[in-house]
Every structure is written in C-alpha cells, then in structure tokens.
Chains A and B, each alone.
Chain A
Amino acid sequence: MATEIEEQTSSRTRDEVNKPWQVVVHNDPINLMSYVSRVFRKVFGFSRDKAETHMLEVHHHGRSIVWSGEREKAEFFVQQLHSYLLLATIERGQ
C-alpha cells in the first residue's frame, strides 16, 4: 500500500513537472493591433495569419495562449514580450 501511494505521488509529481507552461498575452487598450501582431511575428516567428489570429483573440477575448512548453523557455518569451511592453504572464498548463 505504501509503495502504491509513493508511486501515485511520484507519478503526480512527475506529471506536474512535465505539464507544459503557457505564455499568455493579455489585452490592454493602448497597444495597437498592428503593433501586437508585429511583435508576435518577431518574437515567435509566426506567420502574418497566425499572428493576427492571436492578436484578435487577445482583443476579443482578453487573452491568448501564444506558446506552451518548458518553463525556462516560457520565462524567456515573457521577458521578450515585456521588452515590447506587452502584458504577458507565465501560467501552468491546464
């Protein structure tokens, strides 16, 4: 029984660690739509269409998950987005 609990805990911990982290961009009424779209292309290398889809999601729904993956890289992208003055946060994946 003890082994089973340990295994479950260990497995849960592993799942938590492996859960991808998300980079979320939040809406603000100041940043221009064309500017936000351009920043997405520069930071993530998105195509024009993909960048506009995310920009419109931010505009209409208040937020968009623009990237998910390893935590360290997610932090790097948030820093990049902050350098362009976008409101961005890191969140644990659902």
Chain B
Amino acid sequence: MMEFYETDEDKLGFRQVPPLLADLLRQIPRWGEGDCEIAEERLFPAPSSDLDEETLCDDWKAFVQPELHELFQSARQTVSSDLRALVEEEDTFALEFPMAHAEAWLSALNQSRLALAAQHGFEEEELSQTGPLEIVDERGLALLQINFYAAIQQWLVEVLDD
C-alpha cells in the first residue's frame, strides 16, 4: 500500500509506490504542457463572458496569460526536477521532495487534472463515482490518474494547512 509521509527535515515523500502509480507520477508535468486546445481553454479561461469586455479579454491574452504560462511552466519544472529522485526499492518506488515545493506540486497536479478532464470530457457524475475503477481503456486510465492526483493534492492541502 502506497504511503505518504512528512520527515523532520521539512521533506515530503511517497514510499511503496506500485510501478503503475510511479509511472503516473512521472507523467504529472506532461499534461499541463498545452498541446491540446480544449485543455488550453480550461487552463487559461477568459476573465469575462460579457461581450462588451472584448478589450479586457484581448489584454488578458496579451499580458496576463503569458505570465500564467510562465508560472505554470515553472511549477511543472520544479516537479519534473523532483521526480528525478524517484528511486526503485525492490518491487516498488519511493520519492522525497522539499516541503517548500508543495505549492508547485499542487499547481502541477491541478494543471494535469484539469487538462485530463478537459481532454476526455469527464462530467461531474463520472468524476464523483466511488468504488473500484475498471481500467479497460485510455479513458478509464485517465479517470484513475485524475483520482490518484486528487488524493495527492488532498494530502498536500492537509499538510500545508497544519
């Protein structure tokens, strides 16, 4: 059973990570990269739905979205760098990273979950289903991925709130 833990040296970690979940961890930085238009729309929403606010929306695209792109990319790079420390221990994997990187992890996990959900068009009902998942296709794997990342996010929010 995979474990999440904190150390006395301000580090966070995962241990006994099964190979499938280790592979999903490695994929965290990949999904927010913005090679899918529908995901891009969700990651960079318009600041207004009012048709009179065309100028605001244009300015947003020109000035705000590039800053957000940089911010999101920086978070993904931090996670990518942390993931290089993922090590194999017998049949499972383990990883430790600085607690100071928790915000970057929250962002990268959120980017991935939003991008995956947008790409696969998941509805609220599907996302909130409980019980074991059937991974019979790419969509099932994406749902597992979204839920796995949500579990890590939930843990990080609890750690940061302490």
Contacts and interface: CB of A to CB of B under 8 A. Distances in A.
Interface string A61-94: 0000000000000010011001111011111100
A35 interface: yes
B127 A29 contact: yes
A38 B159 CA distance: 12
B44 interface: yes
B interface bracket (residues with beta carbon within 8 Å of A): 20 to 34
A1 interface: no
A30 B123 contact: no
B68 A83 contact: yes
B48 A89 contact: yes
B104 interface: no
B46 A29 contact: no
Contacts of A3: none
Contact of A89 (B49, B124, B146, B150): B49
A32 B150 contact: yes
Interface of A: 28-32, 34-35, 38, 75, 78-79, 82-85, 87-92
Given A34-B161, A75-B47, A82-B47, 18 more contacts: A28-B42, A29-B123, A29-B128, A30-B127, A30-B146, A31-B114, A32-B150, A35-B153, A35-B157, A38-B157, A82-B45, A83-B71, A85-B43, A89-B46, A90-B47, A90-B48, A91-B50, A92-B50
